[in-house]
A and B are shown apart, each in its own frame.
Chain A
Amino acid sequence: MRDIWQRLPTRGKTFCLAALAAAIAAPLVADRYLLSVLILVFYFAYLGQAWNLLMGFAGQLSLGHALYLGLGAYTATALWTLFGIGPWIGVFIAIPVAAAAGMIVGWLGWRFAIEGVYFALLTIAFAEFTRIGFDHLQITGASAGLFLSVNSPGSDKWWNLGGGPLLYYYLALILAAAATLLVAWLRRSPLGYRWLAVREDPEAAQAAGIDIFRAKMIAMLISASMTAVGGVFYGFYYRNLFPSQVFDIGRSIEIIMAPIIGGLGTVFGPIVGAILLTPLGESLTALMQHFGINTPGAKSIFYGLTLMVIITLQPSGVWPWLARKLGLDRPRA
């Protein structure tokens, strides 16, 4: 851990500390709306880190991360509404459920040498399959959705995630910060090096003694588990779940936007991406409301265009470029 810190250039250390301090102090000045935007920023930064681990580091394109998000969300909320099991316990059941799903997807794909586009399509197929399954699963409300009631006993207690926006704000901040630390640490670990090797050239990685199947499975395990935690957050924050929303391919794409815009395979990319995208989208919504335009599609068109422009002009993302400009990238020893 100390190693990661020491590797940052001095200016980077200052920057990190300042950003963290600002984030901690933000609720003092931010109003409810701004707080809700910041919650989304951290939430997407967190999920972006989870996805980036698999794609940016291990090089495996998953377009079905909504599967793990949805399983995490449904497991924890269903445990609460059906059995009164709170989220702090529920999360430890949600993680293995999503991780198991990830293992199945990974095993089926990689054992049978399904790579690249084919693997990506397999991940979509599983997410869609599960979405339709949940659409018909009566115990979780099927397509009519699952709701967290606000007046069941204990639901207002913070340990059941029953608090106001402040609770969720700090929770999201902690999640994002912890995920970033974890990813930074993994990046410099033997495992991180193995992932990079697998991403760059699987055959050469094997020749260097790396069990590529194992390396990819571990990446999937961690990524799916982290995403499931994000799902638990999602479920209790929004307090309602619909299969057509939480398992949707649009959800999967939303998850991957921040790391792609920010910079695939970088530690800070997902954060930068989330900071850029979320407020942009929000201010666009506000702007449209201001002018009395009430069309849901416009925001998505903006996202679509952003994706196209960034990938055409800056395919390695904003962060590597920004880091160079600000002199924050690691001096090459």
Chain B
Amino acid sequence: MTAITLNIIVQGILTGLVYGLMALGLSVIFGVMRVVNFAHGEFTVVAMYAAFLLFDMLGVSPLVSLLPIAAAFFFLGYVLQRTLVEPFVSRAEHEQFILLVGLATVVVNGLLLIFGPDARPINLPYSFDSYTVGSLFIDKVRVFAALGAFAICIALFLFFRYTRTGTAIRACADNLTGAGVVGLNVKQLYAVTFGLGFACIGAAGTLMATIADASPGLAPAYTLLAFVIVIIGGLGSMAGALVGGVLIGISEALAGFYIQPSMKSMFSFALLILVLVLRPQGLMGRRL
């Protein structure tokens, strides 16, 4: 493998970890509630704008605003679930879809109204620095973003494995009636789950803002990207989201360099079609 290819793959892995965090939010929500958040990319872009504004107006670095934005998004998700989504949990798939597509349309066009179509970059002092390891040149921002994404994923894994709430949410996902019978407050847990999914969005969007310029046009593409990733990794599988994210990150980076940047998502979709046909439950998913 040439040094260039290796460079590209490493960049792809780093970007892919951020993608993975974003997709993790989708996967957690679906895994527990069986609701597909069709407004995922739209809210990711909202988080990107939040990071941009905090940086632009107050000079707060995204690495600092990461946790506050994630917390705010947790709250946003919690409230959205409680008010808007809750009545739809037991409704037909297409009804959930329409609700969330409606929401996505409102959000993305709201962004367009407020910020206009132009891209908003965050120019950090180290935006163009890179680390040199042997023949590798790795963007500093990308390393930070990937580390941040990875750390948050680990934190979420630990939460689901070791805390009471996390265990209770997993119980809801496995057996809803059982969870209700043993006295878990399912509605409350669903709202927390939605909140956690949104916290992933908030964090991923903030990190994404350091490696891509915020613009409303990104939103539908990110929604699709998140779908592609979780289906490749396995809807509902947390590890799958990360693996899928990294795979798509690499595939995008390679296709973008060797073929054409504008054709990179074609390969992601081809990969998706391949996975759906050969292994519909995804690489790491259980058969539903």
A and B directly contacting (CB within 8 A): yes
Give A55 to B102 CA distance when docked, in angstroms: 18
Docked complex Cα distance between A301 and B42 (Å): 13
| Cβ-closest chain B residue relative to A120 | B97
Task: Count residues of B near A (Cβ-Cβ below 8 Å).
Answer: 39
Scoring A132, A253, A298 by chain B CB atoms within 10 A of each residue's CB, the highest score goes to A132
Contact A307 B99, beta carbon cutoff 8 Å: yes
A244, B252: Cα distance in complex, Å: 20
Report whether B273 and A125 are in contact in the complex, using a CB–CB cutoff of 8 Å. yes
Which A residues lie within 8 Å of B6 (CB)? Answer: none
Contact B231 A121 (CB under 8 A): yes
Whether the Cβ atoms of A125 and B280 lie closer than 8 Å is no
The answer on a CB contact under 8 Å between A297 and B276 is no
Contact A315 B227 (CB under 8 A): no
Residue B183 is within 8 A (CB to CB) of chain A in the complex: no
Q: Any chain B CB within 8 A of the CB of A308? A: yes
Count A-B pairs with CB separation below 8 Å.
Answer: 119
Within 8 A of A (CB), among B61-85: 84
Which residues in B have their C-beta under 8 angstroms from that of A306?
Answer: 102
Give chain B residues whose Cβ lies under 8 Å from the Cβ of A61.
93-94, 97
Kindly list chain A residues whose C-beta atoms are within 8 Å of the C-beta of B97. Answer: 61, 63, 117, 120
Q: Are A253 and B280 in contact (CB under 8 A)?
A: no
Residues of chain A lying within 8 A (CB to CB) of residue B87: 312
Across the interface, do B262 and A112 meet the contact criterion of CB distance under 8 Å?
no
Known: A132-B262, A132-B265, A311-B99. A116 touches B273 (CB 8 A): no
Q: Across the interface, do A304 and B105 meet the contact criterion of CB distance under 8 Å?
A: yes
Q: Assuming A136-B260, A296-B112, A304-B109, is B102 touching A116 (CB within 8 A)?
A: no
A223 CB to nearest chain B CB (Å): 15
Contacts of A93 in B (CB 8 A): none
Q: Indicate which residue in B95, B105, B280 contacts A113 across the interface (CB closer than 8 Å).
A: B280
Chain A residues, Cβ within 8 Å of B277: 108, 112
- B269 interfacial contact with A, CB 8 Å: yes
With A298-B109, A301-B110 already in contact, the answer to whether A307 and B273 are too (CB < 8 A) is no
Asked if B266 is an interface residue, CB under 8 A from chain A, the answer is: yes
Instruction: Name A308's contact: one of B103, B112, B276, B280 (CB within 8 Å).
Output: B103
17 contacts between A and B (CB under 8 A): A108-B277, A117-B36, A117-B93, A117-B97, A120-B93, A121-B231, A125-B224, A125-B272, A132-B262, A132-B263, A133-B266, A135-B263, A253-B105, A297-B109, A297-B113, A298-B113, A300-B108
- The chain A residues found within 8 Å of chain B, CB to CB, are 55, 61, 63, 108-109, 112-114, 116-118, 120-122, 124-126, 128-129, 132-133, 135-136, 143, 249-250, 253, 260, 264, 295-298, 300-301, 303-308, 311-312, 315
Interface positions of B (Cβ within 8 A of A): 36, 84, 87, 91, 93-95, 97-99, 101-106, 108-110, 112-113, 220, 224, 227-228, 231, 235, 260, 262-263, 265-266, 269-270, 272-273, 276-277, 280
